[in-house]
Structure 1
Amino acid sequence: MKLIENKELFQAIFNSSPNGITILQSINDEKDKTVNFLVLLLNSTALHFIGNTSYENKSYSEVFPMMKEAAVEEKFIEVMKTGVTASFENIITINNKKYSFQFTVVKQADLLVVTTEDITALRQAEITLDTALTVAEKQKRFYDSITNNTPDLVYVFDLSYIFTYANKALLTMWGKSAEDSIGRGLRENGYEEWHALMHEREIDEVVATKKTVRGTVSFPHAELGNRVYDYILAPVLNEEGEVEAIAGTTRDITEIKQAEKRIQQSETRFRSMIEQAPIAMLLSKGEDVIIESINNPMLQFINKKTAKEVLGKKAFDTLPELADQQILQTVVQVQKTGIPYRGYEQPVDLVVNGETERRYFNFSFDCINDAEDSSAVLHMAMDVTEQVLARWKLEDSESRLKSVIDQTPAPTLVLMGKDLIIEQINKHMLQMIGRGEEIIGKALIDVLPELEGQYVWKQVQNVYNKGIPFYQSEVLVQHNRTGVPVDYYYNLAYRPLVQNGQIVGMIQVAIDVTEHVMARKKLEESEKRFRALITASSDAVYRMNADFTGLRNLEEQGFDTNQQQAPSVNWIDKYIHPDDRKQAVHFIEASIENKKIFELEHRVLNADGTFTWNFSRAVPIVDDQNNVIEWFGTCTDIHEERTITEKLESLVADRTKELQRSNEDLQQFAHVASHDLKEPVRKIKTFTSRLQDHLSEQLDEVATRYIERIHVATDRMFNMIDGVLAYSKINADLQKPTVVDLNEVIKNIETDLEVSLQRTGGKIDYDDLAILEGASVLIYQLFYNLINNSLKFAKANVPPQIKIVSEIKEEKNKKFAVITLTDNGIGFEPDMAERIFETFTRLNSKDNYEGTGLGLALCKKIVERHEGKITATGIINEGAVFTIKLPLQQKENNI
């Protein structure tokens, strides 16, 4: 059967049209006023505008959001209201590119048919379009006729087989309203059981496979009787790629069958349309690509003069240069598979005037099947070579500029337009202003609003408005690079960008020299202070070259640190006392070798020929490689101090000998006194005991009490003598520091005080105490005295509880053990915290509590010998707290 008998031929033409065709249904408010439009049908070209996304059950503004700025919907509403066909042109931005479109809006019943023609390229061919206006109008009416009379049924199922949408054609077929149909299943809408089960199985298949299902079915129409329908069920996927609904389209093919004869009659018209179309078109058949119909624009593209040169011939023979090119292979593939092909800016090498020339085309190939199962391919082509080359040239230019800007080491940006929009910016500029690439496309003043009113912003505006380049160093700019307004200094260079004689933007280069400027200012300030210091100093100030061979005196007022006066050479021989020269040379050589500060006390020759003592100190000045470039020093007159010091050293030496002799005498006295004092006390105690034994039967109660008091007094005298001897020896006996574990110390003290602890019911609580360096004997005596003190001053009839804890602390890079001893004894008044460490101090009656008043004084001496500190706090009848702070390591070899 001929091609005109095939309805799919028209469908292919409909989908292959380079114009977008949209069928819209009005959406009315409660006052039946049109407020929006629902998209019912789009052809392939219209789908291309929206990226072939789903449009079912969506409004026009949702499908074509880019049309909002052009206000096309208001014109659509006007056509729906008046019924008057509207044709208008608008510029629309799609994917950041501007296109010119010709809109034609026709009202058909309660529908609108919108034809959208991309006339961007056609504007370049207006003469051709004007001559073909009649043919284009016929083509437009032909496309309008197809879309206006399409009887397709459109609907949507949810996953429970419930209708969530049905168009008017489907509702008319059912003879129901939307309220009676939407939200109901197949059976509730009149489908027979076999029919409902069939569609439910197909819906399950679509959900499981995510693939389209197509079929043909016959069922009755409410008004037209039994009809035959071709249907397609397609999955609707959500963002996660899961099926969330099933969209269906059903086409009544009964009338298509009836219309096949009419299609055959229109074949001549179809071929005429191809030949007269302003767009390059041809029709080919078979895998040999035999050309059956071709129009003049296509003949021009392939460099042929008449249709006779190509009609009935194979494209491979007519255009042998295409044999190895992809374009003809694509046509053969469409012929074989029936899958349409759309290609944009496809390269094709054509022979023109005997030379191969590369051209670029937008291609459209659609397979058309007739009733006899033979097929043809409809070719459409648009030459876009000039646009492609122009775009490449622009992109190449922009790419080179961007590459240069990105690779330049200086912070650089490009501003465009009167609003000075940031079009390009390199990473160095982004890092300098502390921002990211999100600022590209924004106005510079919006990114850095703090520039408003500043000197630099006025210069930026002058560059753009007047075309005056701006170059200046160390420009002060205050801005919020880190969120806080700070003064920065920049070396700036601004140049206008000129295109076609007009200023279109500018290039800015800014180098941050803040550190350099601040350093120079600090250097200048430092030099001022240096000058003032030298002027005010009473010392002689000098500079010395690297090897100490040349001396320059700087003490005169008005000196210049860069002065070039001749240095004094052989200064050691001229100014230094002969007896000090050897030592001076030795110290100089050591300082030069080690690059260390030179310090020396020496005698200097005065103008009157006398020598006075001076202290010289010189500091090395080094370069980046740590090489000494010169020495800066001072010379201080210390003659008077040196003379006084020598006298003092002599006096100190004499005094030290006297003190050593006195200390030896005191040590000898302490030993003699302790022995001589103990002897009479021992005799008193002995004869008192004998007297007590001799008169044991004759002593009354009063006499016995007196004798007992004599015994107590003699025992106290023994303790007093031993305490004085220990206190006097504590500074005389040096101890070697060793590692002392306080846990072992307390354990040994528990053993030694076992009898006292059992007698009083006392307990010592300690665990995980510090380990430190110290004199083990003295540390033992320190804690023995403290614990014995707590046992001695326990409350009556209350078992003493002693708790010892320690922790490690760090102060000025030195670690200390802080030990706290707490008891529950009788305590003491808070204002006595300092006095209890004084020698012979007693806070309680000697009749009630034993002691010499030397125990805590001895503790303080032991702690201080260890470079530590001891403090105490107390509350009457609540107990006392002793805090001992001892270093973990001892600095000295002896304690």
Structure 2
Amino acid sequence: MNTKPNLNNNKLMGDLSEELQSEVARLESEANLQFALGAAQLGVWNMNPDTGEVYFDERCRELYGNPPEEILNFESLILHIHFEDREKVTIAISDALDPNKRLTYDVRYRTVGAADNRLRWLHCTGKAYFTPEGAPYRFSGVSRNVTDEISNRERVAWADQQAAMTIEGSGAGSFLVTLATDEIIYSPTMSRIITGRDNNTDSREVFIRHVHPEDADKRLNAYKVASATGQLRYEARFVWHDKSVHWVRVIGQYLFDSTGKAVSLSGVVMDITDRIEAENIIRTSEEHLRTLIEQAPVATSLFVGREMIIELPNEAMLKIWGKGNSVIGKPLHEALPELQSQPFFKILSEVFETGVPYAASGSRADLVMNGVLETFYFDFTYKPLRNSKGEIYAILDMAVDVTEQVKSRQALEQSEERYRQLVNELEQRVQKRTEELHQANQELLNSNSNLQQFAYAASHDMQEPLRKILSFSSRLQTVYGNSFDENGIFMLNRIQDASKRMSSMIDDLLAYSRLTTRDSAFEPVDLDKIVSSVIADLEFSIEEQKSEIKIGPLPTVWGNASQLTQLVQNLLSNAIKYRKQDVPSVIEILARDVDAAELAELPRLFSEHHYTRFEVRDNGIGFDEKYLDRIFQMFQRLHGRGEFSGSGIGLALCKKVVQNHHGYITAKSELEVGSTFIVYLPVPN
């Protein structure tokens, strides 16, 4: 037997074992690769550059929405790529397959799912393989779904954009510092806040160069704190390019990488100059208020807020309360509990709610002094204080102790009471006399009332037959006018004229009666408006008589508008009526102040009142001044009815109006030259 080993067989078995081990290793490697691809959610694809056929694994098919074709090719797959990205993908594939370029295929694009029409973002990377002659024979790679990544990035970008818009819209500026390069990116608003210019080419040194020298340490200390906490906060002064100083608040936050290393600093800056200046003004005002309270000659304190916290009481107020400095900082109801049953808390609450100050004289207050409840009397005021927003934040209490004065007055009142009984009999006599005067006044009031009722009844009772006379005479003239001879028509016309004059006289008498018996409310009256109104009412007469009216500046007087209208209307009517036929009528209405010397010469005027002199001048027929007293009397006429119409009551009515106003009326005149009627009327004080 040949026992020598067969070396060839052993070699063959070794080769088979190595091949088996290599296959097992290959299979394991492919399994590991598939597991890695699956875990990374990567799809594998291969493309034949010659035929355009494409091999997709299951993951790639999912990324394209599971196309129904069994054999895929580039022409069909390109239709599932979003139309806006097709050109980009085509160019990228062309560059990868170009033997002169041989670029790496790395492109992001959108697909529209073949079966579900779902939009997906893919990130595809691959490589083309070439023959020694330079012809591409294989094009393969992997695809990954990056839809969520793109969406998140878009949301972050949108959020960053919105944040930047919000920051800029609020008037603040934003900045971002990349710590590795010390590069700073900032908005024009931040540049304007820091330097006073919209555009600035400074680097991060913008913060250092423009910070006020006195605030440099404050800034450095803020950065030291920020390095430990990650939060940057400080307020400092910055010097603008024009040397003006502005207060700026800087708020920032460090961003760290996964190792905890700070990589960037982002934040905002705000111009707070207005706020700082306002705070300085408030602080100065508070210091002034504190000084005023401390130096006030009367007891003074502040009650702050709805709780009425006691602040800044001066020594005089602490002495009144009798409890020392222990009351400072306490609510009023805790510091002075004895006031609970007294009205002061309610008054303070109303002042705080309404903003209406309150003052009282000789008000009683019961206070505990040295453990004993004692009674005091004060003159005091509660004045609300408002902040810059107009809100009430405190009440200023100022008080004067008038206890001795009130007690003296009370003692005096008690003394007066003892003497009051001694004059009781005199008071009874005075009361009896008062009752008699009251009865006489009542009788006078009754008489005036009866007179008014008589005037009203008489005017109405007398007007009724006059209206009938006018009515029947008008009917006679209309119906039977042709039956009358000339004498009959003359007498009928006389009847109508007499009736009209009688009616006019009754109206004037009634107006005069009303002036005599009726009280009227007085108020400031603009004479310029009164004159304008009267001229408008007399427009027809003014045009008919061709009168020229000249009006000077007119004041405001103290009186009754209705009565003053009657006064002006009668004076102006007379000036228009008593014109000369052959001379153009000119009427002037003037006014001026009355001095003390002129006032002293006038009768029945009050020297303590101020008066104005109101004049109506005309160039009419005038009158003899010997009749001056007569023209202001009832029914007194200087001319016959055939010359000028009228009842003879107008000037008497003017006089009564002036008397009602505690004034004075007179006139100056010369025949065929004109008249001036002068009225003195009081003016408001």
Which TM-score band (shorter chain)?
0.3 to 0.5
- Structure holding more helix per residue: 2
